[in-house]
């Protein structure tokens, strides 16, 4: 299990969605790995 990655599926999905849009904003051929600490700073 990956319990440290998010409390529930919605949190994990939200972090992945944020990483997707950040990668799109940076240009083509980008890959980003989402982390909970990075995501929480993005939400703020």
The H helix count followed by the E strand count for the chain is 2, 0
Identify the pLDDT of residue 41. Answer: 44
Range of the domain at 37: 3-43
pLDDT value for 5: 58
Q: What is the pLDDT of residues 1-44, one digit of tens each?
A: 555 656 788 888 888 888 888 888 888 887 777 665 544 444 43
Q: Name the domain count of the chain.
A: 1
What is the pTM (predicted TM-score) of this model?
Answer: 0.55
Tokens of 44: 């703020």
Q: How many CB atoms are located within 10 Å of the residue 32 CB?
A: 15
For residues 40 and 14, give the distance between their C-alpha atoms in angstroms, rounded to a whole number.
10
Neighbours of 39 (CB within 10 A): 20
């Amino acid at each position: 299990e990956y319990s440290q990655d998010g409390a529930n599926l919605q949190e994990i999905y939200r972090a992945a969605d944020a990483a997707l849009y950040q990668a799109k904003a940076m240009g083509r051929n980008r890959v980003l790995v989402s982390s909970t600490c990075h995501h929480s700073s993005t939400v703020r």
